[in-house]
Amino acid sequence: MSSFMLLPVIALLTLPAASLGATEGLSAAERGQFYNSQNQGGEVTLTEYDSYYVIASNGLPDHDMEKVNPLTATAQDFEYTFDKELEFACTPANLPKGTIGITKTGVALYSPLTSADLNAVEGDDSETFDSCNGHTNGQGVYHYHQSPGSDNCGDTYTAEHDQFIGVALDGFPIYGPYASDKGDEPLSSDDLDICHGRMVDGKYRYHLTFDFPYVLGCFWGSDARTNRKAVSYVCDLEVGTDLTEWGYLCSNVDERGVDATICNDYPGTVDVTTTTNTRRSKNPRNRYFGTRQNKPNPAREAHLKRWLKQLLEETK
């Protein structure tokens, strides 16, 4: 390889990078919000240890569950372990079908897809939900594929600004669709990065929205495989389930069981500072199928840097 060809490679690999280090997952205040009134038999506990915590629940909500299908919700035995400090993956992980997070009342948050890889929430193939936007599956698990209802639907979501909802299986918090920096306008997926989140005052969080994919698009946290072995850190814009009508979601992937490569810093594209009420977007994303080839892809860029580093080592 000529020195001329190596110049841009060397320049790319010597770009300044943030130092490696953990970032806070759930704060003490967020961890303190896990509670179920038990009005409908629901239970949730959060047990703290020095460097991690464990959430256990029976999966039942704190509100009425209307019977919208022949299935009956039953008590489950959920238990998830999370580190208090987290690291970002350079390449995000796919969302498995089923549970991708848990609310502060102990109810499962599901992927937006049906078992047939269709949109469960909207469109001709949507499923039926009760007035609190939940329903029960064949295993008796009551769950949400979208934002829980806010009208007589317990304490999970009450349409307040900057409202903590629960935790994703990678340990990052999930917030509601209303944010103080957006005023009375709810966030949409176009306000968020590819995984459906953003940095807010130096801390990462996912957001519920009223548009696809509703809860998460992928996992940025490096340790989601602790809670779901079906997770694999191989997502990019060419991998996953792309519902043309709705947008991109990293779900079905061919390469299974891939652990995360730790990234120096937040690899996403949306960074917000609310103290000055300004929003800094590195590269606002267009999530639609027709223009996705033009969209900046931090996962692909991180992969390119690793590939170039390997190439340099092989040509020494």
Report how far residue 130's alpha carbon sits from residue 68's, in angstroms, rounded to the nearest whole number. Answer: 6
Cα 270–chain centre separation: 14
Residue holding tokens 């340790």? Answer: 223
Q: What is the pLDDT of residue 300?
A: 42
Question: For residue range 254-271, what is the model confidence (pLDDT) as tens digits?
Answer: 888 999 999 989 999 899
- Once rounded to an integer, what is the mean pLDDT over residues 57-81? 97
pLDDT band at 21 (very low <50, low <70, confident <90, very high): low
Residue 139 corresponds to which amino acid? Q
Q: What is the pLDDT of residue 248?
A: 79
CA dist list (Å): 174 to 18, 184, 252, 292: 25, 19, 22, 25
Q: In terms of residue numbers, what domain contains 60?
A: 3-314
pLDDT band at 288 (very low <50, low <70, confident <90, very high): very low
Quick: pLDDT tens for 193-232.
Answer: 999 999 999 999 999 999 999 999 999 999 999 999 999 9
pLDDT of residue 9: 37
Is pLDDT larger for residue 255 or for residue 61?
Answer: 61
Contact status, residue 61 vs residue 105, Cβ threshold 8 Å: yes
Please state the pTM of the whole predicted model. Answer: 0.82
What is the reported pLDDT for 312?
63
Our count of domains for the chain comes to: 1
Of 275 and 86, the structure prediction assigns the larger pLDDT to 86
120, two tokens: 């469960």
pLDDT in tens, 104-127: 999 999 999 998 899 999 999 999
Name, in order, each residue with C-beta under 8 angstroms of 276's C-beta and a sequence gap of 6 or more.
none
Residue corresponding to tokens 């205040």: 29
**CB atoms inside a 10 Å sphere around CB 294:** 7
d(CA 240, CA 171): 22
CA distance from start to end of the chain: 10
253 pLDDT above the threshold of 90: no
The widest CA-to-CA distance across the chain, in whole angstroms, is 71
Q: What is the pLDDT of residues 139-176, one digit of tens each?
A: 999 999 999 999 999 999 999 999 999 999 999 999 99
